[in-house]
Amino acid sequence: MVKKVGILINGGDAPGLNAVIRAIVRTAEKNGIECYGFKDGFNGLLHNDYVRLDKAEITSGILHKGGAIIGSSLNSNVFNYKVIENGEVVYKDLSEKCVQNLKDDGIDCLFTLGGDSTQKSARDFSLRGINVIGVPKTIDNDVACTDVTFGFNTAVSVASESLDRLHTTAETHNRIMVLEVMGRYAGWITLESAIAGGADVALLPEIPYDIEKVVEKIKARQAEGKNFSIVVVSEGAYPKGGSMSIKDERHGGKGVINIQLRRCRRTSCKTT
């Protein structure tokens, strides 16, 4: 019999977080279940820092609010957690402490709101006997076995609106306008916003681009008397024979390297 559930959020914020929290709390209360939110995601779980969530006070009136009332964690993989020992950075598996906290708190099930890395940790917790429900949250829409993740539709809507605004300036001043959107390894935002916003070129991380083909497309438009073009590019797009351009590397989970991308590669920018 489930009596208590916990909620945590990991990764970047996305539209709909508070709506999901509210839905979980309302459903839990209808079934006589207590609901608790771990503050700042996995950090809260590790330090056993949580707050009681209820319909009457904390979660009332949050449906329309952005962000997340319980915060979120970034780069907080408790299976490979960054700690300072003797002035040096080391990485340790602190997941057992999290498991013990859940048991001590009497949490019967944990809701994890997050993307790919979050759900990997959720899987690992489930392998250690914790009941977990993963709620796919990422604007990139790149969680396996999930059709649409919450936050994605809003991201596409914002990007499409931006393209509508860029069109007028590009056409008025005969310019080539480039819109960069999120999408390190998945180009869903780029593809769908490009279609919805009427872009002329879309560069996706799944398909290495040929810059000459891009130039060819723009020149073909110019030959038709269209002296402006709109290009949408994913942050992780890269040219044929090339690779993603990175600023630095951050250690993530076991054997996983998270890559932080530069806004663009200089050689590519000069070519365009």
Q: What is the number of structural domains in the chain? A: 2
38 pLDDT tier (thresholds 50, 70, 90): very high
Quick one: which of 13, 19, 74 has its CA closest to 41?
74
Give the pLDDT of residue 13. Answer: 82
pTM > 0.85: yes or no: no
**Structure tokens, 162:** 């931006």
Whether residues 39 and 12 share a domain: the answer is: yes
Q: Is residue 122 part of a domain?
A: yes
Q: Is residue 213 part of a domain?
A: yes
For residue 120, give the CATH number of its domain. Answer: 3.40.50.450
Beta-strand relationship, 88-92 and 81-85: antiparallel
Report the catalytic residues: 140
Residue 142 lies in a domain: no
Mean pLDDT confidence for 183-206: 92
**Tokens 């059709």 appear where?**
147
SS3 235: coil
Same domain, 102 and 158: no
Tell me the per-residue pLDDT of 54-73, one tens digit each, with 9 for 90 and over.
Answer: 766 677 777 777 888 899 98
The reply to whether 120 and 210 lie within a common domain is no
Query: In terms of domains, do 86 and 112 share one?
Result: yes
Q: Which residues contact 40 (CB under 8 A, 6 or more apart)?
A: 49, 70, 71, 72, 73
Residues 65 and 130 occupy one common structural domain: yes
Q: Is 206 helix (H, G, I), strand (E, B) or coil?
A: coil
118: domain range?
4-136
Q: What is the pLDDT of residues 94-146, one digit of tens each?
A: 999 999 999 999 999 999 999 888 999 999 999 999 999 999 988 888 888 78
